[in-house]
Amino acid sequence: MINELVKKIQKTEAPIVVGLDPMIKFIPDSILQGAYQEYGENLEGVAQAIFTYNQGIVDAIYDLVPAVKPQIAMYEQFGIPGLIAYQKTIAYCKQKGLVIIGDIKRGDIGSTSAAYAVGHLGKVTIGEKEFRGFEEDFSTVNPYLGSDGVRPFMEVCKEEKKGIFVLVKTSNPSSGEFQDQIIGEQTLYELVGRKVAEWGEELMGDSYSYVGAVVGATYPEMGKILREIMPKTYILVPGYGAQGGKGADLVHFFNKDGLGAIVNSSRGIIAAYQQEKYASFGAKNYADASRQAVLDMKADIAEALAKR
Amino acid sequence: MINELVKKIQKTEAPIVVGLDPMIKFIPDSILQGAYQEYGENLEGVAQAIFTYNQGIVDAIYDLVPAVKPQIAMYEQFGIPGLIAYQKTIAYCKQKGLVIIGDIKRGDIGSTSAAYAVGHLGKVTIGEKEFRGFEEDFSTVNPYLGSDGVRPFMEVCKEEKKGIFVLVKTSNPSSGEFQDQIIGEQTLYELVGRKVAEWGEELMGDSYSYVGAVVGATYPEMGKILREIMPKTYILVPGYGAQGGKGADLVHFFNKDGLGAIVNSSRGIIAAYQQEKYASFGAKNYADASRQAVLDMKADIAEALAKR
């Protein structure tokens, strides 16, 4: 799947993943009211509104980008109906040929991590048949529990030719509280990065590993260090746009081949119509605003990469 | 909710939480076949079997213990039907008066952690009504992202009078890979422990905080250190039984008042009938075997505490 992701990035010339992280306040009122009328003003209604809203965005951007990254928390908050919308969103995006990065940040001890891994990337066997829960292509994984927590995901990745992105340096303001602590000659995030590179060696695609890393756009200097520590690791870069990361901050996350990083933007794209810059599209044409935001992001990154 | 948990522990004289972590291989064949016949040999069938199996165990142990800890991964692996079984298990245990510790190990950046927190401990507002996703009393939380990731849970806890257990030192063999690393004068787990104590000060119940910690029974010496660092923190102790922790290992996790810790056992209780010790119960009486295993665990811990 990492090979497929790389090919799609090359084909679209867009190292961009669109974060499908819906919030009620992003959804145009007409969609919300329509869903409420059909399903009621309840969890089912919101879940339907989310799915319809996502469909509009996906229809408008699927030819421009290689991948989408639904953030499961934004669905899980609406209980079972929300998770059904998550599953339907994945199925819809797959149908459109998009690579799915499930932003689930799971991680537990051995047998429990294995359960998450089969649920999100693999399959369970019941009697003589196989079933799949959430059919992501990649999942994000939390490393705090160590190799025990990560290896079960790697095993499923090997079998399924799928991948993971392990949290190394996250984009949030307090990520340094633990991640930046100095251990001997290096920081915790460097130590985790070295471990990611090591795990990655065991699971190589053509030029990049099936084991990727998450490094926030909001920490470009650390991105530079981690790029060197993990040369064959694809880096998923959140924090562009709404969280403050800019195109110029991104250049260090990429390798000289122009590959090695894929940048996420969520609300900057999916709620573009709510920004002054794209307000002229109006709520009705929210998906067109999202398309324009993708084109602008693509140009911003290309310009930054050309300048370096 | 921490006050309620403490009261229940005192009343039952059992600082024990039963881990409801079902695996297909634990479920007696009669339950499995019954569910398959009614719902099909598929995800729905397994989910129904899990719920029926859980019900049997809960009926047999609810008067002996204060709390249960369903591990969401074991349900999530079976997709939406699995998560419905998780939700139904929680509702059933609540009805029986048990405190619910949702072992979800979630954690993300601000707004995303907030979504997990409202989904598992709080409520969402849709129109003028409020809805709840998964109605846990406590959730486990992963600290790797720092305060940003934990505070949204604390805010919901404050509003709902619910609680969290933050991963500090996990029970798995490779937990030391990152958690035991030395930062200045202390280990990472000590640093996280200090942070947990600090967060906990802001959210105190009568004698213990709403912010608890997870520390594995498999590391008793570290438990001793952490007990001192976090005197007002309730410690959730996994790793007893199947993972190798014994009663004698547990004493350091408790305060002198005999409180301060709650010990989890999962397969040691729910699959007791598959152990040689309880084999005479037979698969049909699996729940009675679980009851006996709880009684034995209670005696083991009481003996260890009396001896110290």
**HEC-encoded secondary structure of chain A:** CHHHHHHHHHHHCCCEEEEECCCHHHCCHHHHHHHHHHHCCCHHHHHHHHHHHHHHHHHHHCCCCCEEEEECHHHHCCHHHHHHHHHHHHHHHHHCCCEEEEEEEECCCHHHHHHHHHHHCCCEEECCEEECCCCCCEEEECCCCCHHHHHHHHHHHHHHCCEEEEEEECCCHHHHHHHCCEECCEEHHHHHHHHHHHHHHCCECCCCECEEEEECCCCHHHHHHHHHHCCCCCEEECCEHHHCECHHHHHHHCCCCCCCEEEEECHHHHCHHHCHHHHHHCHHHHHHHHHHHHHHHHHHHHHHHHHC
Q: What would the mean pLDDT of A204-212 be, rounded to a whole number?
A: 97
What is the three-class DSSP state of B262? Answer: strand
Amino acid at B151: R
- Minimal CA–CA distance to B24: which of B95, B85, B69? B85
* The pLDDT of residue A72 is above 80: yes
Average pLDDT over residues B123-138: 96
User: How many CB atoms within 10 Å of residue A68?
Assistant: 28
What is the Cβ-side half-sphere exposure of residue A138, based on CA atoms within 13 angstroms? 32
Could you tell me the CATH superfamily of domain B2-307? Aldolase class I (3.20.20.70)
Total length of chain A? 308
pLDDT recorded at residue A100: 98
Residue range A78-84: average pLDDT? 98
Mutate which of B33, B126, B139, B191 to test chain A, going by most A C-beta atoms within 10 A?
B126
Name the residue in chain B with its Cα closest to that of A135. B79
Cβ-based neighbours of A8, under 8 Å, separated by 6 or more: A66, A67, A99
Tell me which residue of A202, A199, A140 sits closest to A166, measured CA to CA: A140
**Residue A170 and residue B132: Cβ atoms within 8 Å?**
no
B245, pLDDT greater than 80: no
Residue B188 to residue A181, Cβ atoms within 8 A: yes
Average pLDDT over residues A48-57: 98
Residue B147 contacts by C-beta under 8 Å, 6 or more apart in sequence? A174, A177, B195, B199
According to DSSP, residue B284 is labeled: G
**Closest Cα partner for A71 from A81, A88, A86?**
A86
Beta-carbon separation of A170 and B126 below 8 A: no
Q: Which residues of B touch A109 (CB under 8 A)?
A: 170-172, 175
Q: Is B146 close to A177, i.e. CB distance below 8 A?
A: yes
Using a CB-CB distance cutoff of 8 angstroms, which residues of chain B are in contact with residue A188? 178, 181, 183, 188
Q: What is the structure's pLDDT at A145? A: 97
Give the number of other Cβ atoms within 10 Å of residue B155's Cβ.
16
**Catalytically active residues of A, by annotation:** 105
Does residue B120 carry a pLDDT above 80?
Answer: yes
Residue B58 has a pLDDT of 98
Mean pLDDT value across residues B252-260? 94
Subunit contact B127:A36, Cβ cutoff 8 A: yes
Per-residue tokens: B198: 């600090």
Confidence of residue B241 (pLDDT cuts 50, 70, 90): confident
How many CA atoms lie within 13 Å of A293's alpha carbon, on the beta-carbon side? 32
Q: What region does A79 belong to: left with phi over 0, alpha with psi -120 to 50, or beta?
A: left
What Rg do the C-alpha atoms of chain A give, in angstroms? 19
**pLDDT tier at B19, thresholds 50, 70, 90:** very high
In this predicted model, what pLDDT tens digit does every residue of A182-192 receive, in sequence order? 999 999 999 99
B73, B124, B179 member nearest A108 (Cβ):
B73
Nearest to B115 among A77, A118, A184 (CB): A77
- Dihedral of the alpha carbons of A286, A292, A298, A304, in degrees to the nearest 10: -110
Residues ≥6 apart with Cβ < 8 Å to B183: A181, A182, A183, A188, B191
H or E segment to which residue B306 belongs: helix B286-307
Catalytic-role residue among B8, B88, B94, B105: B105
Q: What is the pLDDT of residue B254?
A: 96
What is the predicted pLDDT for the residue at A246? 79
Topology of A2-301 in CATH?
TIM Barrel (3.20.20)
**Which positions in chain A touch B241 (Cβ < 8 Å)?**
none
- The pLDDT tens digits for A248-291 are 889 999 999 899 999 999 999 999 999 999 999 999 999 999 99
Query: Does pLDDT of B296 surpass 80?
Result: yes
**Which of A76, A106, A154, A240 should be substituted to probe chain B, the one whose Cβ sees the most B Cβ atoms within 10 Å?**
A76
Q: Please, are residues A127 and A137 in contact by the beta-carbon 8 Å criterion?
A: no
Q: What's the predicted TM-score (pTM) here?
A: 0.97
**Are the beta carbons of A43 and B82 separated by less than 8 Å?**
no
Q: Which amino acid is at B143?
A: P
Angle of CA points B228, B230, B234, to nearest 5°: 115
CA A30, CA B104: separation in Å to the nearest integer? 35
Q: How far apart (Å, rounded) are the C-alpha atoms in residues A247 and A194?
A: 26
Residues from chain A that touch B29, judged by Cβ atoms under 8 A, are: none
Residues on chain B touching A181 (C-beta within 8 angstroms) = 183, 188, 191
Closest Cβ–Cβ partner in B42, B80, B126 for A41: B126
Count of CB atoms within 10 A of residue B11's CB? 9
Angle between helices A79-95 and B79-95 (to 10 degrees): 180
Chain A residues with CB-CB distance to B147 below 8 A: 174, 177
Mutate which: B48, B86, B178, vs A, most A CBs within 10 A: B178
Q: Is the pLDDT of residue A3 over 90?
A: yes
Q: Which residues of A touch B192 (CB under 8 A)?
A: 178
Nearest to A107 among B87, B134, B142 (CB): B142
Instruction: Answer whether A126 sits within 8 Å of B173, measured CB to CB.
Output: no
B149/A144 Cβ within 8 A = no
Q: Is B256 a catalytic residue?
A: no
Q: How far is CA A149 from CA A111, A205, B93, B177, in A?
A: 9, 22, 28, 11
pLDDT at A244 over 80: no
The whole-angstrom separation of Cα A241 and Cα A301 is 12
**pLDDT surpasses 80 at B242:** no
Interface test with chain A among B41, B105, B218, by most A beta carbons within 10 Å: B105
- Taking the C-alpha atoms of residue A294 and residue B201, their distance in angstroms, rounded to an integer, is 45
Contact yes or no for B182 and A178 at CB 8 A: no
Q: Which of A223-232, A236-245, B199-208 is the least confident region? A: A236-245
What tens digit of pLDDT does each residue of B149-167 get? 999 999 999 999 999 999 9
- For residue A171, which residues of chain B lie inside 8 Å, CB to CB? 109
Nearest to B14 by CA among B294, B306, B236: B294
B228-254 burial code (b ≥16 CB/10 A, e <16): ebbebbbbbbbbbbebebebebbbbbb
State how far residue B277 is from chain A, nearest Cα, in angstroms.
23
Angstrom distance (rounded) from CA A261 to CA A263: 6
Cα separation, A13 vs A28, in Å, equals: 30
Whether A172 and B110 lie within 8 Å, measured CB to CB: yes
